A and B are shown apart, each in its own frame.
Chain A
Amino acid sequence: MSSSGARIPESMSRDFQPEDFERLLLWLDKDRAKAAARYEEIRSKLIMVLRVRDCPFPEDEADETIDRVMRKLPEIFGTYVGAPEAYFYGVAIKVCQEYKRKKTVPLPDMPLPAPVPSNKEVQYDCLEKCMNQLPASNRDLLTAYYQFDGTKKIETRNELAKRLGLTGSGLRVRAHRIRQELQRCVGECLESREQRIQ
């Protein structure tokens, strides 16, 4: 979901009406675009928390958490005091515990699915294409950031941070954002190639 055009996410339960999602956005921020961005960030944060806590299906559990908060929202809207993130967090911990309890039910023995062969060549082509789509400054930064190992890596990164007027952590976050953009582009490229094959 893009932050500019917030629509009901596909992952959300079909029991909900558009006004339920609108209420959630309004709870997060009066500005719709800001609310959508905050929604996306909350979902990413929940996934991170659920992964670290070894919850069995982090993405599903994050969506379940959001569904539950939406269901509860008519009751708490206007009365709940505090940041919505804290509320989401509390619900997520509960959802995770429930999923973990469910997970203990033994599953019947089933053969493991055959591993899906990942087509590295196609991935590499997509990466090359996406790399060329990056603004030159971002491409250069990524190249310099990941070029070396060991002492040379540390020296290069210190020099780079100095030149860009950033702290070490600031540089790392900037490199991460470019890498994230690149990974998104590669994902889309792989998807479109798969569709073409089908």
Chain B
Amino acid sequence: MHSPLQHEDEIVRYLLGEMEEPELVVIENRLMSDSDFFAEIRALEDELIDSYLNGELSGLQEKRFREHFLRTPARQQQLEFAQALRKNLRENRPTPAGELPGKSHTAASWIIAALLVLCSIEGLFVGRFMADLRRAEQHATELNRKLQDKDAEREREKKNSLVSSTVHIVALQPVTRAKAKEISRDAAPLFLELQLPGGEPGNSFDVEIQDQYGKKVAQLNNVPVAAVDTTQVVFVPLPADLVPDGDFNAVLRSHPAASVATPLRYSFRLVRP
């Protein structure tokens, strides 16, 4: 009997094409005959894509993922969708801590429960009262959702205006600056100087460098904010051997992590001279 982790590990090996024929046939016979097992494999396919985007795969797994798993256009679309979903969920719909969906009891539900107890004691017509309360609760939930959507929209607008008006990337020596968003490099270390929009809170940031597909290629934690003249900036050292040429994003999250803070996003391009 395998433990759940061994079981998951086997499925991941299967998905990455790491199994030889006898093992392959065993897993495929089960896949074909057991719908629950098939559903599990499909779900782990999502997890594998997310692990790739989070930079959680080992070197070999990452290689297999790129060369084997991503071979078909359908899987590439899955990857693109996963990136968009991740961006949407993390940047627009933060879940305040302790508000997970499920059997949690909100203040409103406790009040309703208390009122129902009172109504029973008083011998009132509970059915009609419950229906009214339910309607009121639905109305309140709907209003709450609309307010949250409006807040999220305002946040997005604020973030977009900040990014478009103030994002600026400067390459320091030994790197020479080419164009506004194009920098050249021929030696390590490479520093990015990221200007912060005015009024940005926090003394340091966690910086995630992503490739053009949104996959994490480097993570630097607790990078301090510095002052250059009157401007607040963050210097991000990039390990040149780690980052190949191409288009990248730098995502800055205030440190320590605050689940409601909106990350700052910078796009940049690295090109060889």
Residues of A within 8 A of B (CB): 41-42, 44-45, 47-49, 51-54, 58-59, 83, 85-86, 88-89, 118, 120, 123-124, 127-128, 131-132, 136-137, 139-144, 146-147, 149, 156, 159-160, 163-165, 168-169, 172-173, 175-177, 179-180, 182-183, 186
Contact = CB atoms under 8 A, between A and B. Distances in A.
B93 interface: yes
B33 interface: yes
Contact of A147 (B14, B90, B102): B90
Interface stretch (B42-50, B167-175, B223-231, B234-242): B42-50
B232 interface: no
Contact of B259 (A124, A147, A169, A179): A147
Given A123-B80, A136-B145, A140-B95, 9 more contacts: A42-B32, A45-B38, A48-B31, A51-B75, A86-B33, A124-B84, A163-B102, A179-B85, A186-B84
A143 B43 contact: no
12 contacts: A45-B38, A49-B32, A51-B72, A51-B75, A85-B33, A86-B29, A127-B84, A147-B95, A160-B102, A172-B44, A173-B42, A175-B43
Closest 6 CB pairs of A and B: A163-B102, A176-B43, A140-B101, A85-B32, A172-B43, A173-B43
Contacts of B149: 132
A4 B31 CA distance: 24
A169 B100 contact: no
Contacts of B179: none
Contact of B42 (A144, A147, A176): A176
Contacts of A85: 32-33
A163 B88 contact: no
A156 B102 CA distance: 12
B90 A146 contact: yes
Contact of B72 (A58, A86, A88, A163): A58
Given A51-B72, A176-B39, A45 B14 contact: no
Nearest to B19: A52
B54 interface: yes
A140 to B, nearest CB: 4
Contact of A176 (B46, B74, B94, B100): B46
Nearest to B73: A59
A183 B85 CA distance: 9
Interface string B57-73: 00000000000100110
Contact of B89 (A51, A142, A183): A142
B164 interface: no
B15 interface: yes
Contacts of A147: 89-90, 94-95, 259
- Of A147, A177, A186, most B-chain CB atoms within 10 Å: A147
A89 B84 contact: no
Nearest to A156: B100
Contacts of A156: 100
Given A51-B72, A58-B72, A175 B46 contact: yes
B74 A49 contact: no
Contacts of A86: 29, 32-33
Interface string B166-188: 00000000000000000000000
